[in-house]
A and B are shown apart, each in its own frame.
Chain A
Amino acid sequence: DAGVTQSPTHLIKTRGQQVTLRCSPKSGHDTVSWYQQALGQGPQFIFQYYEEEERQRGNFPDRFSGHQFPNYSSELNVNALLLGDSALYLCASSSRTYEQYFGPGTRLTVT
């Protein structure tokens, strides 16, 4: 049984560019949450998707958007990248329980 997978593992972008990160939830899970983790800090909640809709959003600008597909996988899009967007982006999946399972993350570097 595959756990939560994320792609790519690492990527480097230039300021002003756009990026798309992908997440496949654990088998049987229908809810996907995205978190941003700056270096040396705890993860910060970005948003959560359930039934292909954004259900809750943290304190992030509209440059951060997402999507959930019918197979429950999800994408995180960030437009007009800033240097401060450099971070580890974590995806977590769950299924109507309090327990969230995390993927290995995508390390984004903005230069």
Chain B
Amino acid sequence: AQTVTQSQPEMSVQEAETVTLSCTYDTSENNYYLFWYKQPPSRQMILVIRQEAYKQQNATENRFSVNFQKAAKSFSLKISDSQLGDTAMYFCAFMKPSTGANSKLTFGKGITLSVRP
């Protein structure tokens, strides 16, 4: 079974600064997907960024980028130029790919990020 660990329960960052959220996972699979989801107080779970394990290049989406270290089973999220709207709970998640059905997400416990004005 796969496990996802987010050891930092809370983090705080000043607006416009950069923050890195950590995530480690454990799996015996070689091919898989990793995700960071954002859940603001509105509760809607929003996909921030995804990484395919077979790709060596780290994924980037505007101000969000990841540092994917496959051998170390580490998947951190870097948020640059933090904005007040980034305040939310962030979840790291793992998925073993299949034909579409039977693809479940395994989530970490999440980290609460607060952006200070």
Contact = CB atoms under 8 A, between A and B. Distances in A.
A94 B103 contact: yes
A57 to B, nearest CB: 9
B102 A100 contact: no
A98 B95 contact: yes
Interface stretch (B11-19, B54-62, B63-71, B107-115): B107-115
Interface residues of A, number: 31
A105 B43 contact: yes
B44 interface: yes
Contacts of B99: 96
B101 A104 contact: no
A97 B101 CA distance: 8
A99 B45 contact: no
B42 A104 contact: yes
B42 to A, nearest CB: 7
B73 interface: no
A31 B100 contact: yes
Given A45-B106, A48-B103, A102-B45, 9 more contacts: A31-B100, A42-B91, A42-B108, A50-B102, A55-B102, A92-B45, A94-B103, A103-B44, A105-B45
Interface pairs A-B: 9 shortest CB-CB: A96-B100, A42-B107, A50-B101, A102-B45, A45-B104, A56-B102, A55-B101, A98-B33, A105-B43
10 contacts: A33-B104, A42-B6, A43-B105, A43-B107, A56-B102, A96-B99, A96-B101, A97-B100, A99-B47, A105-B43
